[in-house]
A and B are shown apart, each in its own frame.
Chain A
């Protein structure tokens, strides 16, 4: 046990040795659920994929968990795996992370929370209620994430691409 821990700091000192990714096999069963086959060939059905860093590094670090929440494997970099697997991962994660990208803010009911927002997203027009100013957070200088009163998420990839009015509404908070 101790050995693994000692290995961790060493990894940064050496010029990152190429680690061979563990073989991973993912398939869909007849019900469309994902099945993971472990190295000892026992299939684990109904697994879920969870990105560990959904905001800071969404495409990598994908954890495969069984239905009881136990982690069975972790994909550090999908690019190490065959294209079919990458495709499967993309499909599955797209369903998991429904985060519409806000393209324009059409209307905001006021400057005091809670307030209602009407926005145009890449999934179409929608409205939501913003509960408090803490629910708008800046992820990087021009990236913003908004969580509405029901826990739904919206993102702005680059505030610079918004029109003046939309940008003013968002920058009021961040």
Chain B
């Protein structure tokens, strides 16, 4: 039970020494916590050490104050070897028994641990939000130590050491990240995926796409060869014009060779056309394949992630990642990157051709090129920022629309039309201003490129004319130079876009890998036990929940729950919201794994079954039934796609859905779900009950199945449910206690613990939470019946 050496080694040397010198013989450090804020709330690290006997606080001298705000004068212990008062750190110590309790307070962004003595507050430790989890561990460890010591003290008087309590000091369990449901290491307050350490690195994220490119290396190399060939062929014509001008046109002879040169130029054009065609086709196939692979892989991975990952606010974002981001990567690979590589090859080839023809001339003409390239890039960046401001202003304007049009009733009711019109006009003016500013530059951009190109050409003409006059160069070479450089400058614009596009594609890649890098929190067993060997994959349905704890971020949602459920028994689960009811059922469904303790079904831990085989034994009816787009028959058969029509109809009859389905125009073939026919809440619920019935689940979870509907519909659904629960182990969560009248036992949960278990009458007799809930609901019913009587008379 002593400190992790690694943790200790991470502390500054000075602090390590300080702690070592403070420790008494046989005293062992157990845990170190680093509060990172001083009493005046500046970021200064101090160290709180829990040892087997004491609590030590090591803090920089100038940051230590008493709880009242006065600097602490520390009296060095008598056995202290060094009495050096210039030391940077000072230590305060308290015996564990001296500290009555540690109180942890979360003040949003700022946490404190107060060390309370029997008569006064001894010290306050302050720290920022990131350290909350470790702080809690520190407090827990302290309490466990105190508990252990008080037991030991007592047991000295009575008899031997009760071993079981030592386990309280066990290592902290891993927990579940509250925002994505991933597994979190002890000591973290959000998982690493949700709080990434730094922004993505452009080249590195793009480089990771190589993983997907590797599988298609052959075709990529072929495409690259085609790119090289097409670019090379494209550079041929100016080269051919040199002898055409110098040998034929200027001396005005050998005109019989002209057809050959024309044929050569034509051949180059044909080859360039064909190579470019093949190259573009091949590389667009490659990029489509890569992005299709990415989409498949991402979607497949998404399906393996935990429920929590798909919180409501993420849905749109996830859809965008699988669709838009992969599309953007595809565009980048097939168009922009390809163009860029072509341009790069062209520049290198052109430069080498120019140098081979006339090194002097090439040097002079290429010198301004980098400068011009930089200028183009600079203007582009300015433009990009301008456009970004424009689109931000646009979004602001759209926000007004999105805000006020759905809320139009409120606007009119409070007669605020004028204000909203003004608000819109202001935002609209912002759009105009932002766009005007960028348009000034944007309209100048194309002329600037032309202007720079012209300047570049001017240099060639001037220097070329000078060289031709001196007889150092022929006219043909000058013409070739003009043609080559002209081509280079026209490509500058498209090259300058590359940087921004690469950044955007890298961001997309990063967003996709963010999903791919997530580890599913529910792992498949290494040696799975088959489910229900003798009974055709069906479990019998006994559930044994033992000492289950579950933590959600820093919050303990379920603590030490024990419950055994017989096969076929119906359990009603009631309690205030936030009591951990839904989490409890999620644990039984194995949407999460519990941090400690175990859940067994038919005597085996559910973690030892193959996940999907186990879940096929479970049927769930949720508060808001979800119907997929498709026919009613498809929806009922969702859990068993090969079910026959007779079975579908039978399940619908049993779920009391048959008669309303009959009334729909297309019967069982009617389309429902998003974009489909609208059904009432009760009708949808009965379809979802039929869906659960058809899979014949052995364990049934009803998560507030009737709470979203009116009382009349509830009665209809209840009939269907009563049929559904027969012969199945059922756990029903309900707010309305009346829906649990058939339950064999009712379990009351509060703050993650089971507080009452028993039959309806027994629980009423306890006069506890259940009795209170029951009375409140009775009261409400009476009130409403009084009202309805009053209305009817």
Contact = CB atoms under 8 A, between A and B. Distances in A.
Interface string A49-63: 011111111000101
A118 B711 CA distance: 49
A2 interface: yes
A56 B696 contact: no
A161 B390 CA distance: 53
A69 B659 contact: yes
Given A11-B646, A11-B647, A53 B668 contact: yes
Interface residues of A, number: 28
B649 interface: yes
Contacts of B651: 8
B727 interface: yes
B671 A137 contact: yes
A8 B650 contact: yes
B662 A65 contact: yes
Contacts of B650: 4-5, 8
Contacts of B693: 5
Contact of A53 (B642, B658, B669): B669
A54 B669 contact: yes
A2 B616 CA distance: 20
B635 interface: no
A158 B645 CA distance: 25
A12 B645 contact: no
A76 B649 CA distance: 10
Contacts of B667: 50-54, 63
Interface in A1-46: 1-2, 4-6, 8-9, 11-12
B633 A53 contact: yes
Contact of A12 (B631, B647, B659, B726): B647
A134 interface: yes
A61 B726 CA distance: 28
Contact of B723 (A1, A69, A74, A134): A1
Given A12-B647, A61-B645, A70-B659, A1 B726 contact: yes
Interface in B688-719: 693-694, 696
Tell which of B642, B651, B665, B667 has the most Cβ of chain A within 10 Å.
Answer: B667
A156 B675 CA distance: 22
Given A8-B651, A57-B645, A134-B675, A2 B727 contact: yes
A11 B659 contact: no
A71 interface: yes
A1 B107 CA distance: 57
Nearest to B634: A56
Contact of A5 (B643, B649, B665, B696): B696
Contacts, number: 74
B644 interface: yes
A11 B654 CA distance: 16
A19 to B, nearest CB: 9
Interface string B115-151: 0000000000000000000000000000000000000
A11 B646 CA distance: 9
B791 to A, nearest CB: 29
Nearest to B726: A2
Contact of B662 (A11, A12, A52, A137): A52
Residue among A2, A51, A56, A70 with the highest chain B CB neighbour number at 10 A: A56
A9 B643 CA distance: 8
A131 to B, nearest CB: 13
Contacts of B13: none
B658 A71 contact: yes
Contact of A63 (B631, B642, B644, B662): B662
Contacts of A4: 650, 654
B666 interface: yes
B663 interface: yes
**Most central of B642, B651, B669, B694 by chain A CB within 10 Å:** B669
Contacts of A61: 645, 649, 668
Given A4-B650, A5-B696, A61-B649, A71 B659 contact: yes
A126 to B, nearest CB: 19
A117 B723 CA distance: 49
Interface string B395-426: 00000000000000000000000000000000
A52 B649 contact: yes
Contact of B668 (A5, A52, A70): A52
Main secondary structure of the interface of B (DSSP, over half): helix
A76 B646 CA distance: 8
Interface residues of B, number: 30
A23 to B, nearest CB: 19
Nearest to B676: A134
A9 B726 CA distance: 16
Contacts of A8: 646-647, 650-651, 694, 696
A56 B644 CA distance: 13
A56 B650 CA distance: 17
Contact of B669 (A11, A56, A69, A134): A56
Interface string A90-106: 00000000000000000
Contacts of A57: 645
A55 B696 contact: no
A11 B649 CA distance: 14
A98 to B, nearest CB: 12
B723 to A, nearest CB: 6
A12 B647 CA distance: 9
A122 to B, nearest CB: 20
Given A1-B723, A4-B650, A12-B647, A50 B662 contact: yes
B307 to A, nearest CB: 28
A103 B498 CA distance: 53
Interface string A71-100: 100101000000000000000000000000
Contacts of A12: 642-644, 647
B508 to A, nearest CB: 29
User: Which of A5, A71, A76 is the most central at the interface, judged by chain B CB atoms within 10 Å of its CB?
Assistant: A5
A137 B675 CA distance: 12
A56 B631 contact: yes
A16 to B, nearest CB: 9
Contacts of A50: 662, 667
Contacts of B661: 52
Contacts of A151: 665
Given A5-B693, A8-B650, A53 B645 contact: yes
A5 B690 CA distance: 11
Scoring A54, A76, A137 by chain B CB atoms within 10 A of each residue's CB, the highest score goes to A54
Contacts of B647: 8-9, 11-12
A124 to B, nearest CB: 23
A57 B693 CA distance: 23
A127 to B, nearest CB: 22
A90 B297 CA distance: 51
Contacts of B694: 8
A158 B214 CA distance: 44
Contacts of B645: 52-53, 57, 61
17 contacts: A1-B654, A5-B723, A6-B727, A8-B646, A9-B647, A9-B696, A12-B644, A53-B633, A53-B668, A54-B667, A56-B633, A56-B668, A63-B662, A65-B662, A70-B659, A76-B646, A137-B671
Given A8-B651, A55-B631, A61-B645, 6 more contacts: A8-B647, A12-B644, A54-B667, A69-B663, A137-B671, A151-B665
Interface of B: 631, 633, 642-647, 649-651, 654, 658-659, 661-663, 665-669, 671, 675, 693-694, 696, 723, 726-727
Interface of A: 1-2, 4-6, 8-9, 11-12, 50-57, 61, 63, 65, 69-71, 74, 76, 134, 137, 151
